[in-house]
């Protein structure tokens, strides 16, 4: 029988940084497929900060205590065995493969995809990252032509997409990112109008320079001091989209609320969070639209690809130290 290697959740990292012993490696024999199942050999895994949140026991958000279970992740793989009439061996599929070499799944859990030039894009700009940017910006942020839009975490998989979609809408777009290399990429290749290196520049002062008339839409992936600085510069009727809070993920205590929060009242602005799952019925139309934008050259993306099954935990931890540049992937 074939052996399957799996990374199991071994810790609840709420209120602290991820650690290597938050997972334990297990090897076990694969059981025979049941009726209707397919066996997928994992080829590429995707990573996102929300995976840490899913390990934490947060009512209404996480799936409960995951200790002892395979660490979840979306991935692309090849069907190597099938007891499902409509899925053939050799098909490329995308789905919740998890941190394991082989995943046994039902047909409704996976989607057969074309092995074309956009295969890995389906884990990034045409996957959850792109969809998060699309619905968060367009439905919650509601940008209008001429608006000034600020994106935090702008060089990440979600942020880079959100900024480009704002440009397609006719907006002036400003991003914050860590390091001059990322800022240069945002302006020179992605098409941002300006980028602020939050590690080496004073964000509030630079926003005053770049957004003289205020910020109409803020798409926040970070929280913390950047959120506070942008709230100081919001325009009347501004929309603040809370997508992520990566700045809090490594803190032992919950951060204090932003000091400038009362500008929401003074500017008659709005703060709103969202979960991508609320738009599931609209995924196909959004993917079709973004696919065309990519083919037309209006959306560009970058992938950060690591290698090797044993490097899976370290690859997730890269997201919380700013090491990744673009969508974080790993090839087994």
Kindly tell me if the per-residue pLDDT of 1 is higher than 70: no
Does 253 map to a domain?
Answer: yes
- With a CB cutoff of 8 Å and minimum separation 6, the contacts of 101 are 4, 5, 6, 41, 42, 309, 332
pLDDT in tens, 104-162: 999 999 999 988 889 999 999 999 999 999 999 999 999 999 999 999 999 989 999 99
The CATH number for 28's domain is 3.90.180.10
User: Do residues 101 and 164 both lie within one domain?
Assistant: no
Is 106 within a domain? yes
Q: Domain of residue 155: give its range.
A: 128-277
Tell me the CATH number at 205: 3.40.50.720
Q: What does the pLDDT look like over 223-264, one tens digit per residue? A: 888 999 999 999 999 999 999 876 555 555 666 678 888 999
The pLDDT score that the predictor gives to residue 270 is 97
- Tell me the pLDDT band of 68, cut-offs 50, 70 and 90: very high
Question: Same domain, yes or no, for 103 and 181?
Answer: no
pLDDT > 70 in the chain, percent: 94
In this model, does residue 191 exceed pLDDT 80?
Answer: yes
Given a contact cutoff of 8 angstroms between Cβ atoms, the answer to whether 141 and 219 are in contact is: yes
Q: Which residues contact 217 (CB under 8 A, 6 or more apart)?
A: 137, 141, 142, 143, 147, 148, 149, 150, 166, 171, 238, 239, 240, 241
Q: Does residue 119 sit in the same domain as residue 135?
A: no
Mean pLDDT of 292-310: 95
Q: Do residues 132 and 205 both lie within one domain?
A: yes
Is residue 30 scored above 60 in pLDDT? yes
Residue 151's closest CA among 142, 162, 141?
Answer: 162
Gap between the Cα atoms of 106 and 91, Å rounded: 14
My answer on whether 197 and 310 are in the same domain is: no
Reported confidence tier of residue 50, pLDDT bands at 50, 70, 90: confident
Q: Are residues 202 and 319 in the same domain?
A: no
Residues 101 and 152 in one domain: no
The distance from CA 67 to its chain's CA centroid, rounded to whole angstroms, is 23
pLDDT band of residue 326 (cuts 50, 70, 90) is confident
Domain count, the chain: 2
């Amino acid at each position: 029988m074939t052996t399957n290697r799996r990374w199991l959740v071994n810790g609840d990292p709420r209120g602290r940084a991820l650690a290597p012993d938050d997972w334990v490696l297990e090897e076990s024999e694969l059981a025979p497929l049941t009726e209707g199942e397919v066996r997928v050999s994992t080829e590429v895994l995707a990573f996102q900060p929300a995976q840490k949140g899913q390990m934490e026991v947060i009512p209404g958000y996480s799936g409960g205590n995951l200790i002892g279970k395979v660490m979840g992740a979306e991935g692309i793989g090849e069907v190597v065995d099938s007891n499902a009439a409509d899925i053939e061996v050799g098909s490329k599929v995308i789905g919740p493969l998890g941190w394991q070499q082989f995943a046994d799944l039902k047909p409704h859990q996976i989607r057969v995809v074309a092995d074309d030039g956009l295969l890995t894009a389906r884990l990034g700009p045409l996957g959850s990252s792109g969809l998060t940017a699309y619905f968060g910006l367009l439905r919650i942020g509601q940008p209008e032509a001429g608006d000034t839009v600020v994106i935090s975490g702008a060089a990440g998989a979600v942020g880079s997409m959100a900024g480009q979609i704002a440009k397609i809408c006719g907006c002036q777009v400003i991003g914050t990112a860590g390091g001059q290399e990322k800022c240069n990429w945002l302006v020179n290749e992605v098409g941002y109008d300006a980028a602020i290196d939050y590690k080496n520049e004073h964000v509030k002062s630079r926003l005053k320079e770049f957004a003289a008339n205020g910020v109409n839409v803020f798409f926040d992936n970070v929280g913390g001091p950047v959120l506070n600085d942008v709230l100081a510069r919001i325009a009347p009727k501004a929309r603040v989209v809370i997508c992520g809070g990566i700045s809090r993920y490594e803190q032992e205590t919950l951060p204090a609320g932003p000091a400038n929060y009362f500008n929401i009242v003074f500017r008659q602005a709005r703060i709103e969070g969202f979960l991508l799952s609320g738009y599931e019925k609209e995924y196909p139309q959004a993917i079709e639209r973004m696919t065309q934008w990519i083919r037309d050259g209006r959306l560009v993306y970058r992938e950060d690809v690591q290698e090797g099954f044993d490097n899976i935990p370290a690859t997730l931890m890269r997201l919380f130290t700013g090491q990744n540049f673009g969508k974080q992937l790993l090839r087994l």
